[in-house]
Each structure stands twice: as structure tokens, then as C-alpha cells.
């Protein structure tokens, strides 16, 4: 059985679509609602590195305290940005997916297909009616 983890926010349509795409590949992932159970600092840093991202690239701006915290300040260090995400997990963009093939911020949701070990078991349509096709 393939071990897949999704750091999920059930209130987010992109996160729900990503979860459904994982399930459509025949796998039931470990679902971690990261707002309730955020990753440790060390795990967050590891996932950012494995995804080939920077902490700034993982920061969510919309519907978060991003502006109030002054996180648009380009002089802030990676450590300061990670500190902000640890203090306010809503700043962690989602969904983050971990599979044996890598770690990816899955925005848009169909980018999860790049790291799923198993193919989709059937056709898939997003919540908004958009069909997802693997080319």
C-alpha cells in the first residue's frame, strides 16, 4: 500500500479536490488537518526543502494575517517566515502532499498527479465541474 500524506484544510476547495484525486488513484491517504495539527517546525522545514521551495513560496497571503504581520517585508529571513507559520498555521499554503515520489504544494489540485505513484482509476471532475485529464 502506498503511503501518502495530505496536509488538508476541508474548507478549501483546492484541498478537497486534491484529496479526491488521491482517492481516485485507489489510495486512502493519511489526512492531517494542519490547522488542528500543524507539522513540527523541523518537519515543515524538511517538507519545504523536499518540495524545492522557499518558506516565502509556501506563505499563504489570502485570508491570513500576512499583511498585518508585515510578512511582505523582503528582508525577513526564512527563519522568521517559518516562525510566523508556526505561530499562525493558516499562513501555510495548502494542500501539501507527501508521497514516495516527492513533496508538492498542490495548487492547482491536479499537480498532485505529478507525485502520485498510481494512475487515476477513472475520470475525475473537480467540484467546479472542470474535468481533469492526465496528458
pLDDT tens column, 15-72: 999 999 999 999 999 999 999 999 999 999 999 999 999 999 999 999 999 999 999 9
Task: Say whether domain 5-132 belongs to CATH 3.40.30.10.
Answer: yes
Q: Is the dihedral of CA 90, 41, 21, 109 positive or negative?
A: positive
Q: Name the percent of the chain lying above pLDDT 70.
A: 97
Residue among 4, 7, 8, 12 flagged as catalytic: 12
Q: Which residues of 55-82 are buried (b: 16+ CB within 10 A; e: fewer)?
A: beebbbeeebebeebebeeeebeeeebb
Per DSSP, 9 falls in state -
Q: Which residues of 8-21 are buried (b: 16+ CB within 10 A; e: fewer)?
A: bbeebebbbbbbbb
pLDDT band at 133 (very low <50, low <70, confident <90, very high): confident
Is residue 106 part of the annotated active site? The answer reads no
Name the strand (E) or helix (H) holding 82: helix 78-87
Q: Hey, where are the domains in the chain?
A: 5-132
Amino acid at each position: 500500500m502506498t503511503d501518502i500524506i495530505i496536509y488538508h484544510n476541508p474548507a478549501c476547495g483546492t484541498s478537497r479536490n486534491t484529496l479526491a484525486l488521491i482517492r481516485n488513484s485507489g489510495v486512502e491517504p493519511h489526512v492531517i488537518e494542519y490547522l488542528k495539527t500543524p507539522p513540527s517546525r523541523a518537519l515543515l522545514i524538511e517538507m519545504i526543502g523536499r518540495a524545492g521551495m522557499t518558506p516565502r513560496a509556501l506563505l499563504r497571503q489570502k485570508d491570513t494575517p500576512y499583511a498585518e504581520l508585515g510578512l511582505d517585508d523582503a528582508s525577513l529571513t526564512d527563519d522568521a517566515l517559518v516562525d510566523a507559520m508556526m505561530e499562525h498555521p493558516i499562513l501555510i499554503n495548502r494542500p501539501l502532499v507527501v508521497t514516495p515520489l516527492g513533496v508538492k504544494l498542490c495548487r492547482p489540485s491536479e499537480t498532485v498527479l505529478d507525485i502520485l505513484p498510481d494512475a487515476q482509476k477513472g475520470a475525475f471532475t473537480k467540484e467546479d465541474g472542470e474535468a481533469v485529464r492526465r496528458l
